[in-house]
Structure 1
Amino acid sequence: MRRKLLLFCMACLFTFPMLHAQFPTNIGIPSWALQLITDFVAKPDEFFIDLQNDIDDHASTIGAQRVQVYTSLFWDLTTMVNLGLKVHVYDETDYIPRITVGVAGWYAVAFLALPRDIATGRMWGLSPAVSASKTIDENITGFGGFKYMIGNVYMSLGSNIAGGLSASGVPTSINSVYQAPTVFGGFALKTGEKTEAVISGGYIFGKWKPYMQLQYSFPSWNLGVSLYPEAMFVVHPFINFQLKF
């Protein structure tokens, strides 16, 4: 589902300007769809910032695990590879919280398989983070932290496709570099020996928008949903596969 959504949005970058140029008035597309496509064409980086934020998992893990490696399965790993890592570097004491550092990233490998006369591209994102967590009682942990999302969204149509469009003044490429410092915080509730429920929220500076996440974590799986009230797509479900050591 995520790959189809991604391909749809990429297609919108080029098909919408072409349609608009040929049919500048009523082209039979619902107004909400036109607005959605227009928003994506104008701000493609915001779409990918939201997707990158879905990958990140900075909640404090339960138990004695110090290292966690994870990947989002809602991304098609044959087109968009992604991987996350977080490590507890300082254990909690009576006065000092537990400190965790982490990083998550993604890369669009699909462009490596495309002939250059069709399209070239470079899309990637990275988000280093640091967080602190403190035990509230035996079943509840509070946490908060900071991360810095950076990335590049570049795509250009090849000569076989771009020739006719460029002559008509239709854009044939996008190139957007983004930086999004973000603060986040939340609570983790231990629901079993190896399971927990997490509610968290954050604010993405630069893009000036809040978000919220609800997730339930098993030993090897993390299921949840991200909510972006001011985004193009408000609800983002996610499934992460994770290994803890």
Structure 2
Amino acid sequence: MPRPRLPDPVGLRRDELDRLRRDLPADLVEEAEAGGGFWCAGSYYHSEQQVIDGATEHGVRSLRLGFSDVTFLRDVPDLRHLWLESDGVVDAASIGDHPGLRALILDVRGLRGEVDPFAFEDLRWFRAGLGGKGGAMLMPAIERGHPRLASLSVRETKARTVAELVAGFPALEELRISYADRLRSLGDLTPVAGSLKRLSLHMTQLRSLEGVEVLDRLEEIRIYAGPLADVSLLDALPALRRTDLTLAALRT
């Protein structure tokens, strides 16, 4: 007897392209769309089995999930892009069952379980909060780095310099740091001087741009910060094409 057809063709909801373009790096959106797009499910509307069945039957490779317990992911085959959203603490140990992951987004309040986000050889995009116990769990991996990661987005870091976060990412092209009230300076950015193209610093306590002069390939910089006053070092960057600066000290 054939299995009853799910109410939705995939048992999931297709994520809106406008939202993806607003919230994710453009190259990640492009890759996910080429593979069928991001598909969404949450514990309020979907069962775990619906996610498993829908993703399996229709070859879904990109998921955005609103579940606190995602252990069922071990039964979803061959994920490439995973976006977890939750106001709770997520047991993320089963993420490791997907060695082919290229994007991992952890928009969650906390994490538990053994989680090594940079154990995936092909990982290209990573986003997470570094506050609380969950962030403390991730910091050893951040410090160790990843040879192929191209996009790193972190929030609520306790780092005082940007250099503390990027030393282990020699292929990094995009860096976003937000809500980092301890961040004061850039530090030595030589490890990413040959790769970094886009830099965004939002809601930090950045006081100086000293160190930015080594970023010969930087094309775009966005800064929303308080005490930074002197941006003249940006004038020497040969590849810089776009600046978006909102600085309290420069307001009139």
TM-score by length of 1: 0.23
* Greater relative contact order structure (CA < 8 Å, 6+ sep): 1
- Which is richer in strand? 1
